[in-house]
């Protein structure tokens, strides 16, 4: 009799089997590839989130530079207007 048939018919045996497997650190061969995939996806997600933070910092820096340049241009144009009126 296959294990899965036995454990589905006898839930108490299923719990014993699962606790032994957990104690020994044995995981289902079906779950192994999925866990690896999840770990890879979580790693990629972390890397992308770090990249997003870096890009946000860069955009913030660019925005500050653009604001400073706009202020300088406005200040310069006011000075030019005052000199022309004199």
- pLDDT tens across 14-64, in order? 888 888 888 887 777 778 888 899 999 999 999 999 999 999 999 999 999
Nearest to 14 by CA among 24, 3, 22, 23: 3
Separation CA 58–CA 51 (nearest Å): 11
Q: What integer pLDDT is reported at residue 37 of this predicted model?
A: 95
Q: What is the pTM of this model?
A: 0.54
| Neighbour count for residue 24 (Cβ, 10 Å) | 8
Q: What is the mean pLDDT of residues 71-81?
A: 84
The domains of the chain are located at 3-85
């Amino acid at each position: 009799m296959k294990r899965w048939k036995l454990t589905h018919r006898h839930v108490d045996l299923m719990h014993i089997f699962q606790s032994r497997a957990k104690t020994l650190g044995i995981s289902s061969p079906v779950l192994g590839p999925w866990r690896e995939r999840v770990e890879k996806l979580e790693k990629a997600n972390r890397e992308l989130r770090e990249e997003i933070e870096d890009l946000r910092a860069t955009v913030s820096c660019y925005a500050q530079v653009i604001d400073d340049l706009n202020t300088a241009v406005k200040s310069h144009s006011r000075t030019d207007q005052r000199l022309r009126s004199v």
